[in-house]
Each structure stands twice: as C-alpha cells, then as structure tokens.
Amino acid sequence: MTDQPDYSNDPVRMRRAQIARAASMAQRIGYLLFAIAVVIFFVGFFAGFTGGLVTAIVILMAVGSALLAPAIVAGYAVKAAERDDLENGR
C-alpha cells in the first residue's frame, strides 16, 4: 500500500505525480551534489586547494544548482496545483 492516491483515471493528476517524482529525484541529486562539494571544500581547506579540487567544487555546485532550481519550482507548482484542486473540490 502506498501513501499516494490512485490517479489512474485522471491524466492531469497522473502527469502531476510524474513531475513530482522527477522533481523529488532532482532535488535529492542536487542536494547530494552540494554535500559532496562541501566535503571536497573541507578537504581542500585542510589539505590545500589544488586546481582539480577547485574545478570539482565549481562543477558540482553548478550542476547541483542547475538541477535544484527548477526542481524546487516544479515541486512547489505541483503542491500548489493539488492544493487548488482540493480547495475547489476537483
């Protein structure tokens, strides 16, 4: 049994559920990339920064941001659409 309602008869809600799952996955990956960048930063802070470490940090932060920003917006959009449907009895 899942916590998700059955939307198999509503294509709009099915699509929203797909977007919510994709947004959740992108958020997890984005935050994971940020965490790895922080760990690498502290390694560089205590062991000395090299060009490779700095490059890795910048790339991880850029990719994490590119994933995280639209995922957060999409997640809020899905929640707002669901809330609006519930408030208006749809």
The reported pLDDT for the residue numbered 7 is 63
Q: Is the dihedral of CA 64, 70, 72, 74 positive or negative?
A: negative
**90: helix, strand or coil:** coil
Please state, in angstroms and as integers, the Cα–Cα distance from residue 85 to each residue in 12, 29, 65, 81, following that order.
11, 29, 30, 6
The reported pLDDT for the residue numbered 25 is 96
Read off the amino acid at residue 78.
V
The reported pLDDT for the residue numbered 1 is 47
Over residues 20-72, the pLDDT tens digits come to 999 999 999 999 999 999 999 999 999 999 999 999 999 999 999 999 999 99
pTM, rounded to two decimals? 0.79
